[in-house]
């Protein structure tokens, strides 16, 4: 009867990274250990960037190199569900499930992940890399989790935030760097530069694209040709 706090569950194409365009059920686990509440002054400053006061800007997030940005994800608890109740929300035709947040690894996901594996559903986890994965998958030893990530059943996407762990980057399936005009490629950790799948993702507004940040990504790719662009296709499709 393990229960998890849920912000939302929905099914749509993945909009980012290696699996962009692939139909997935997204399970957004509530809560985050990276984001911090904004001050009143910060809320005004961030909102003015798009001339809006959207209530979704609830938290200030800090990237791996100390840059801050307004998190546009509402990861507050909407309901608390058992594993069985969560599984009932996954359509029979779906072959991929993405567990995201907030920071999903703040919670013990062992029971949910075991059920997904038993149903031959490929599991994707999107995380800041600040929490050891074996904390969330307590029934397995670390080397077993690394093996799961290597053999493809577990797809681990790291979007590095402040305090990201080197070994989480090392075992990641893909790395996603958020890019704005202050992004400094020279500060990217060497362990991340060596990864095969490194995606540059422009920091965008909630409902529109920041073209300046897109151009910054394109310029960076000219200097680092093996890095790829992830363009948040789900915003073009009108889904989350």
- With respect to residue 55, please indicate whether it lies within any of the assigned structural domains: yes
Whether 191 shows a pLDDT value over 60: the answer reads: yes
Mean of pLDDT over the chain: 84
- With respect to residue 228, please indicate whether it lies within any of the assigned structural domains: yes
User: Strand runs (DSSP E) across 40-185, as ranges?
Assistant: 59-62, 68-71, 79-82, 96-100, 122-127, 154-158, 174-179
Strands 3-13 and 23-29: antiparallel
**Which pLDDT score is estimated for 54?**
45
Whether 29 shows a pLDDT value over 90: the answer reads: yes
Span 128-174, pLDDT tens digits: 999 988 766 665 555 566 666 656 688 999 999 999 999 899 889 99
Whether 53 shows a pLDDT value over 50: the answer reads: no
**Which pLDDT score is estimated for 23?**
96
- With respect to residue 240, please indicate whether it lies within any of the assigned structural domains: no
- Number of domains comprising the chain: 1
Q: Which CATH number do you get for residue 152? A: 3.20.20.70
Strands 122-127 and 154-158: parallel
Structural domain boundaries, residue 143:
3-234
**Which pLDDT score is estimated for 44?**
64
- With respect to residue 75, please indicate whether it lies within any of the assigned structural domains: yes
Q: Judge whether 125 and 154 are in contact, CB under 8 Å.
A: yes
- With respect to residue 20, please indicate whether it lies within any of the assigned structural domains: yes
- With respect to residue 50, please indicate whether it lies within any of the assigned structural domains: yes
- With respect to residue 239, please indicate whether it lies within any of the assigned structural domains: no
Dihedral sign of CA atoms 98, 4, 119, 87 in order? negative
- With respect to residue 98, please indicate whether it lies within any of the assigned structural domains: yes
């Amino acid at each position: 009867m393990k229960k998890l706090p849920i912000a939302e569950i929905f099914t749509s194409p993945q909009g980012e990274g290696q699996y962009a365009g692939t139909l997935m059920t997204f399970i957004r686990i509530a809560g985050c250990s990276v984001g911090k509440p904004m001050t009143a002054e910060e809320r005004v400053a961030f909102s003015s960037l798009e001339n809006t006061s959207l209530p979704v800007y609830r938290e200030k997030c800090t990237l791996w190199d100390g840059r801050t940005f307004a998190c546009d994800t509402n990861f507050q608890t909407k309901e608390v569900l058992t594993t069985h109740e969560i599984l009932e929300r996954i359509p029979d035709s779906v072959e991929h499930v993405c567990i995201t947040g907030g920071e999903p690894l703040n919670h013990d996901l062992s029971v949910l992940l075991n059920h997904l594996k038993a149903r031959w559903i490929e599991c994707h986890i999107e995380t800041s890399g600040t929490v050891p994965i074996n904390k969330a998958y307590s029934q397995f030893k670390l080397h077993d989790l690394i093996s799961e990530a290597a053999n493809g059943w577990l797809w681990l996407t790291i979007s590095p935030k402040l305090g990201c762990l080197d070994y989480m980057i090392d075992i990641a399936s893909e790395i996603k760097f958020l890019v704005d005009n202050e992004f400094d490629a020279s500060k990217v950790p060497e362990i991340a530069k060596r990864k095969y799948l490194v995606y540059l993702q422009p920091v965008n507004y909630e409902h529109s694209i920041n073209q300046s940040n897109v151009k910054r990504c394109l310029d960076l790719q000219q200097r680092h040709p093996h890095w790829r662009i992830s363009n948040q296709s789900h915003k073009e499709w009108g889904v989350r």
